[in-house]
Amino acid sequence: MPGKDDCVIVSAVATRQPSAGTVVVLGNGPVGQTAALLLARWNVPVVVLDARPERDSIGSRAICQHRDVLDVWEAVGAGRRIAAEGVTWTTARTFYKDRELFAYTLPQQGSSCFPPFVNISQSRTEEILDERIAACPRIDVRWNHCVVGLAQDHAGVVVSCETPAGVVEIEAAYALACVGARGDDVRQRLGARFDGHSFDDRFLICDIRAELPGWANERRFYFDPAWNPGRQVLIHPCPGSTFRIDWQVPGDYDVEAEEAAGALDARIRAIIGDRPYEVVWKSVYRFHSRVVDRMRIGRVLLAGDCAHLVAPFGARGLNSGVADAENAAWKLAYVLHGWAAEDLLESYHQERHAAALENLAVTGATMEFLVPHDEGGCRRRVDILTRAASDPSARREVDSGRLAEPFWYVESPLTTADPSRPFGGRPERGATVPAGPGILVPDAPISLAGSACGRLREIARDGFLLLATPGVDLAMIEGAAADGARGPVRVLALREIDATGVLGEALGARPGEVWVIRPDAHVAAVLTLPTLADVTGALRRARGGGIGPLTGPGRA
Ligand SMILES: Cc1cc2nc3c(=O)[nH]c(=O)nc-3n(C[C@H](O)[C@H](O)[C@H](O)COP(=O)(O)OP(=O)(O)OC[C@H]3O[C@@H](n4cnc5c(N)ncnc54)[C@H](O)[C@@H]3O)c2cc1C
């Protein structure tokens, strides 16, 4: 295994040293932090570079984290802590003017140990991830390293950084660019386009501390309330009796002028009445809808806000950035350990770019409903909201944000299709996709002899997992798993680990099946009465064996 010293720092004039096994992560935001922790978990040494002098926890952007993202963070020892410190909410209420249109409760698939969503400030999440990083000797964090150059060839990448001591060059095998929305320079150096558009309206975001009885476990969305006519307001509970209030405001809105005139206080009081409150943080945002044309450029993978920007309604920003980090980490690890060919990295672009496009489509539709860009759209919105007060079928058309959900890799070259489990497309809002090829495997309690593991997802992330239902020749499956040179593969009989039956039911498992589960807990294949060749073929495909050699921008 490569060691920490494989990342060699040299002055701009010194001879470069080879650095075969290291990944350099550009950007120490939450996506870069998550990627570094996951890579280290795969025993890959990581250097994390950030332009800032240190972590500044001023303000907070993301607050709403999805259960499956908590689960990824749990794999690096942070999920339960983030969940315990966060506020759990399960109900989403939607109002039009002074009337509640509907409320829905978020669904549970399988039996996760995490609630559907937890609200916690991004700055607190980053602190908790920092603590995990500090305990991890394979991660070398370098603040005050502003990336100003990025070169690559067939052997690796060279990252040039401006530091207080001058320019340094850092060599590594691969780079993961997580430099966020403002990473124009890095994107340009990579030749990545960042097409899309920015929305005209702005959003005033205030975190206030106040006692608001009954509001502590609900997300509330108000269309056209008397206190923000023609626009909307979103209220989320956060830890410590804090509430995130998000007003849509006109494009020329000036928060300083409003505060000086005392109108900000009036704006807040219109919602909370005469209760005492304190403003913890406030900011005005303009939202964007953009995605890079390539998420893999040779030896560099782009992740998080560096690769895609969406309006935050639906909480798809950081939640999808964490999924990028996980997808990148296992694939980089497999390539670096020699368990898969470099072609596997191309599937990072294919899978995560498709996920980004899905997020753009979903949040774009939401923004079109929230901020229609023409008269026809405005009329449609009023019509739907008016009808929704009395017509339940119109409620489906009310779009206050479709909450984050894991993407389904059904069209990925890593996935083996199962004709008996056809993908039904994007499910109804609030519903989940049935388990099957490409889908994130539902979590469930398991009992594993000689192990303290109590959940499927705890073992799913250790390598490939082959789960056999009754009627499968287990010895034959074990033969398929025996090739240790291709990385860890574990074979388990479903009936031996699923005493409660919860897992089998969540999977919709049938006799004679082998479920092939990838190291990011997505199902790669469901094979019925497979031969040895079927199983090895599905494993080979899931490690990128079906991706042919590439020409063009994906190749270094
Ligand atoms: C108002 C608002 C609310 C949101 N709410 C949610 C939510 O509820 N849920 C959700 O999932 N998402 C939400 N998001 C989105 C979320 O905040 C982002 O998706 C998340 O911050 C992206 O993390 P990142 O690590 O990709 O980028 P960032 O957090 O931007 O981190 C990028 C890092 O790269 C560093 N960097 C930049 N350039 C360089 C360089 N040249 N060299 C070295 N370092 C560099 C920066 O210093 C920074 O540390 C929200 C966003 C906004 C604006």
Per-residue pLDDT reduced to its tens digit, 42-92: 999 999 999 999 998 766 789 999 999 999 999 999 999 999 999 988 788
Residue nearest to ligand 1 atom 6, measured at CA: 62
Question: Is ligand 1 within 6 A of the CB of residue 62?
Answer: yes
Query: What's the pLDDT score for residue 549?
Result: 54
Question: Is ligand 1 within 6 A of the CB of residue 141?
Answer: no
- CA 72 to chain CA mean position, Å: 9
Three-state DSSP at 463 gives: coil
Query: What's the pLDDT score for residue 79?
Result: 96
Which atom of ligand 1 is nearest the CA belonging to 186?
41
pLDDT under 70: residue ranges of the chain: 1-20, 58-59, 107-110, 484, 548-556
Query: What's the pLDDT score for residue 553?
Result: 42
Question: Is ligand 1 within 6 A of the CB of residue 31?
Answer: yes
Question: Is ligand 1 within 6 A of the CB of residue 63?
Answer: yes
Hey, how many other C-beta atoms are within 10 angstroms of the C-beta on 161?
23
For residue 213, how far is its CA from the centre of ligand 1 (angstroms)? 32
Query: What's the pLDDT score for residue 109?
Result: 53
Residue nearest to ligand 1 atom 44, measured at CA: 50
Which atom of ligand 1 is nearest the CA belonging to 404?
11
Query: What's the pLDDT score for residue 490?
Result: 94
DSSP-derived secondary structure letter, 97: T
Which atom of ligand 1 is nearest the CA belonging to 287?
53
CA–CA separation, 25 vs 139, rounded Å?
10
Backbone angle region of 268, left / alpha / beta, with phi > 0 → left and psi within -120 to 50 → alpha: alpha
Nearest alpha-carbon partner for 44 in 457, 460, 487 = 487
Residue at token pair 């997505």:
522
Question: Is ligand 1 within 6 A of the CB of residue 204?
Answer: no
Query: What's the pLDDT score for residue 432?
Result: 84
Q: What is the dihedral angle through the alpha carbons of 175, 43, 482, 503, rounded to the nearest 10 degrees?
A: -90
Residue nearest to ligand 1 atom 37, measured at CA: 179
For residue 122, how far is its CA from the centre of ligand 1 (angstroms)? 9
Instruction: Show the tokens assigned to 190.
Output: 């990579």
Query: What's the pLDDT score for residue 430?
Result: 75
Query: What's the pLDDT score for residue 94?
Result: 93
pTM: 0.93
Question: Is ligand 1 within 6 A of the CB of residue 401?
Answer: no
Count Cα neighbours of 98 within 13 Å in the Cβ-side half-sphere: 3
CA–CA separation, 456 vs 547, rounded Å?
29
CA–CA separation, 370 vs 96, rounded Å?
12
Query: What's the pLDDT score for residue 446?
Result: 94
Question: Is ligand 1 within 6 A of the CB of residue 388?
Answer: no
Distances (CA, A) of 465 to 412, 494, 517, 524: 19, 11, 5, 10
By most ligand atoms within 8 Å of CB, the mutation choice from 287, 295, 318 for ligand 1 is 318
By most ligand atoms within 8 Å of CB, the mutation choice from 57, 87, 121, 122 for ligand 1 is 122
Question: Is ligand 1 within 6 A of the CB of residue 122?
Answer: yes
Query: What's the pLDDT score for residue 57?
Result: 73
Which atom of ligand 1 is nearest the CA belonging to 185?
41
Question: Is ligand 1 within 6 A of the CB of residue 79?
Answer: no
Question: Is ligand 1 within 6 A of the CB of residue 311?
Answer: no
pLDDT tens, 200-245? Answer: 889 999 999 999 988 888 899 999 999 999 899 999 999 999 999 9
By most ligand atoms within 8 Å of CB, the mutation choice from 37, 49, 50 for ligand 1 is 50
DSSP-derived secondary structure letter, 92: E
Question: Is ligand 1 within 6 A of the CB of residue 317?
Answer: yes
Query: What's the pLDDT score for residue 18?
Result: 37
For residue 24, how far is its CA from the centre of ligand 1 (angstroms)? 18
For residue 19, how far is its CA from the centre of ligand 1 (angstroms)? 28
